Amino acid sequence: MATNSKTELKLVEIVKNILLNRWKLLISIRKTFFILIFPLLTFVSVPFAVAEDEDEEDSEEVAEVIPIMYFDIDPKILTFYQGTGRKIGYVVVQINIAVKGQENLDLVELHSPLIQDNLIDFFNRQDKKTIQDFSEREGLRQKAQESVAAVLEGEVGKNIVESLLFTDYVYQ
């Protein structure tokens, strides 16, 4: 029995050494992982973190959308146009000018007398067909917008007109 006991002790000692060596190997692998792989993962994840920060900044920029504001040209534009023969007609147009932000709205208000003069002159130069033909209305609106934008650009140095709208349009 003594031999059997010594053999068991040796066997236990061998198993203990095997387990200890495996444990040391596992620890060594973990150290290698943390020494080699962890820094790589850190460097790989840093660009993603930076990209997330940039996305957050982009979303903040998107959140700062400048609202469209409307300026009502008051009084309405009333002017005459050349009709057929010796007849003249008149047109009354209510116009709103769309701009981005309060600063641009203030600029439009400041230059509203110049805008009114420009629009009166613009409609005065139109002929009967252009004024009365419904299919010409969109082209007329776009030309009026271009005319107002050009006048304002000459005054403020940039195009601030987003759109020009006819909110009332009467002719005779």
Same domain (yes/no): 73, 55:
no
- CA distance linking residue 152 with residue 159, whole number of Å: 7
Same domain (yes/no): 80, 110:
yes
Of 46, 64, 82, at which residue does a domain stop? 64
Same domain (yes/no): 31, 114:
no
The number of residues in the chain equals: 172
- CA distance linking residue 158 with residue 49, whole number of Å: 39
Please choose, from the candidates 80, 78, 76, the residue with its C-alpha nearest in 3D space to the C-alpha of residue 94. 76
Same domain (yes/no): 96, 34:
no
- CA distance linking residue 140 with residue 84, whole number of Å: 19
Q: 20-53: per-residue pLDDT in tens? A: 777 777 677 766 655 666 555 555 555 555 555 5
Domain assignment of residue 160, given as a range: 68-171
**171: pLDDT strictly greater than 80:** yes
Same domain (yes/no): 36, 79:
no
Same domain (yes/no): 18, 79:
no
Please choose, from the candidates 148, 140, 66, 68, the residue with its C-alpha nearest in 3D space to the C-alpha of residue 114. 148
Same domain (yes/no): 108, 77:
yes
Q: How confident is the model at residue 10 (pLDDT cuts 50, 70, 90)?
A: confident
Of 64, 93, 109, at which residue does a domain stop? 64
Q: 88-129: per-residue pLDDT in tens? A: 899 999 999 999 999 999 999 999 999 999 999 999 999 999
Same domain (yes/no): 44, 105:
no
Same domain (yes/no): 34, 89:
no
Model confidence, pTM? 0.62
The identity of residue 87, as a single letter, is K
Please choose, from the candidates 32, 108, 28, 40, the residue with its C-alpha nearest in 3D space to the C-alpha of residue 68. 108
Predicted confidence at residue 52, as pLDDT, reads 55
Same domain (yes/no): 24, 46:
yes
What rounded mean pLDDT belongs to the chain?
A: 84
Same domain (yes/no): 84, 51:
no
CA 13 vs CA 5, 10, 23, 28: distances in Å:
12, 5, 15, 22
How many structural domains are present in the chain? 2
Same domain (yes/no): 1, 13:
yes
3-state SS, residue 145: helix
